[in-house]
């Protein structure tokens, strides 16, 4: 009891003014976490109340941070740029565990059973895998390259790609020892990868050459299949001021919707034939192309200096149906799990804007310091995030 009181007091002190007081019995299914990239902190938010609950500090360099949730939606694993792996407890609103596991990191993943957390590292290049409870390291897989596009596959498996070597790899941790397999060549400088929600296609985007490479993970021996290898062959490429992301990449109407690299276009590819079916001219270099759940729409944000704008595209007509200017430096968009609203981080406005997806009108906004990634706990139950 004494211990509980102490913890409660600490929580009360940490939540501080400006935040709703901390009911410990709040369920986590409506919660989310917003990265505050410049201050090394995260905000715990209540999506349903559209309110911030607490700020948790001391997470290091979050310039490229992402989050995975435990299956019970209690813990957020925050992957920081500086190699920090932090386990944040959304109930007590405190840091439950933290390790500096590498010098430089880019992202992470959590196994389907929630027991293993994997981190993708630049320095030293490789994948490290940790016990989700204790953050003790259980496997170290050096790759001799910066690793990107780490995803979790069903059955305690992970896949990733190598920026420097142009290869894709997989690790199977279902047995006593990890089994590491080379999947094949991706093409030059893969910049990100994603797994489709059905667990079938591991899709790797290329920066060093034109194209996208796909592996069918339902196959016993997945092999690389290249597509979109000739987009934008005519004319000079435009400078890419921010690397596109494939996390949250839109799949809709039987199509992949993906950012062209060096083109102000979203490219549409038929998922069965892997043929390009359309290209939508957009406002700038796309960064995220994200499908609005329960709708035919994808939402796109853009690289600096054109990053005050968000466009909505109809995947049936491939036409831009709305152009919004939510504010300065749109970095990320996160939809309510059924798509009714979208939260948009506005880094240079120091706020998160909430839009109704039917009226396309702003509902409210929440203060946040240089917000970047927004992650709702419903992600815990989705493959391919």
Q: Which residues bind other proteins (CB under 8 A)?
A: 37-38, 61-64, 81-82, 103-104, 106, 122-123, 146, 163, 189, 191, 207, 239-243, 304-305, 329, 347-348, 370
Nearer to other proteins, 237 or 356 (CB): 237
Contact by Cβ (8 Å): 323, 349: no
Residue 377 Cβ, how far from other proteins at the closest point, in Å? 26
CB of 344 to other proteins, least distance (A): 17
CB of 250 to other proteins, least distance (A): 22
Q: How far is the CB of 206 from other proteins (least distance, A)?
A: 12
Nearest approach in angstroms of CB 355 to other proteins is: 23
Q: Which is nearer to other proteins, 270 or 369 (CB)?
A: 369
Q: Give the C-alpha separation, 331 to 62, whole Å.
A: 13
Closest CA to 123 of 106, 138, 140, 108: 106
Residue closer to other proteins (CB basis): 246 or 313: 246
Determine the number of helices (DSSP H) and then strands (DSSP E) in the chain. Answer: 1, 32
Q: Is the dihedral of CA 262, 266, 270, 271 positive or negative?
A: positive
Q: Are 128 and 136 in contact (CB under 8 A)?
A: no
H/E stretch holding 36: strand 31-36
Q: Give me the least distance between CB of 130 and other proteins, in Å please.
A: 21
3-state helix, strand, coil in the chain (%, to 5): 5, 50, 45
User: Please, are residues 305 and 329 in contact by the beta-carbon 8 Å criterion?
Assistant: no
Instruction: Using the minimum distance from each CB to other proteins, give the nearer residue, 198 or 209.
Output: 209
Least distance (Å) from other proteins to the CB of residue 63? 4
Task: With CA atoms as reference, report the closest residue to 105 among 70, 153, 59, 51.
Answer: 59
Decide whether 42 or 116 has the Cβ nearer to other proteins. 42
**213/372 with CB nearer other proteins:** 372
Beta strand residue intervals within 64-166, DSSP E:
66-69, 75-79, 84-89, 94-100, 104-110, 116-123, 125-131, 137-142, 147-153, 157-162
Q: Which is nearer to other proteins, 304 or 383 (CB)?
A: 304
- For 60, other C-beta atoms within 10 Å of its C-beta total 19
């Amino acid at each position: 009891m004494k211990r509980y009181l102490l913890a409660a007091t600490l929580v009360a002190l940490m939540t501080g003014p400006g935040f709703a007081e901390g009911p410990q019995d709040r369920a986590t299914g409506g919660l989310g976490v917003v990265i505050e990239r410049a201050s090394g902190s995260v905000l715990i938010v209540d999506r349903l109340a559209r309110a911030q609950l607490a700020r948790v500090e001391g997470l290091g360099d979050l310039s490229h941070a992402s989050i995975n949730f435990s299956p019970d939606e209690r813990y957020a694993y925050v992957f920081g740029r500086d190699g920090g792996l932090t386990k944040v407890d959304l109930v007590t609103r405190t840091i439950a565990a933290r390790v500096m596991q590498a010098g430089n990191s880019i992202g992470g993943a959590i196994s389907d059973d929630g027991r293993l957390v994997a981190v993708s590292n630049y320095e030293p290049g490789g994948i490290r895998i940790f016990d989700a409870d204790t953050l003790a390291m259980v496997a170290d897989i050096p790759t001799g390259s910066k690793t990107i596009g780490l995803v979790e596959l069903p059955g305690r498996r992970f896949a990733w790609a190598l920026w420097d070597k142009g290869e894709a790899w997989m690790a199977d941790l279902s047995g006593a020892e990890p089994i590491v397999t080379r999947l094949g060549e991706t093409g030059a400088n893969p910049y990100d990868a994603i797994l489709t929600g059905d667990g079938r296609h591991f899709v790797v985007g290329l920066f060093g050459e034109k194209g996208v490479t796909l592996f069918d993970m339902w196959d016993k021996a997945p092999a690389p299949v290249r597509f979109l290898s000739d987009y934008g062959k005519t004319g000079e490429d435009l400078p890419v001021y921010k690397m596109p992301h494939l996390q949250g990449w839109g799949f809709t109407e039987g199509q992949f919707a993906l950012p062209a690299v060096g083109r102000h276009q979203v490219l549409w590819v038929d998922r069965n034939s892997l043929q390009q079916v359309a290209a939508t001219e957009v406002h700038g270099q796309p960064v995220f192309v994200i499908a609005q759940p329960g709708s035919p729409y994808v939402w796109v944000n853009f690289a600096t200096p054109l990053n005050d704008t968000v466009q909505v595209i109809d995947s049936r007509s491939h036409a831009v149906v709305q152009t919004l200017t939510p504010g300065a430096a749109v970095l990320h968009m996160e939809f309510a799990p059924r798509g009714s609203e979208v939260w948009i981080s506005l880094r240079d406005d120091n706020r998160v804007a909430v839009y109704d997806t039917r009226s396309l009108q702003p509902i409210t906004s929440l203060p946040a310091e240089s917000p970047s990634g927004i992650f709702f706990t419903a992600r815990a139950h989705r493959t391919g995030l």
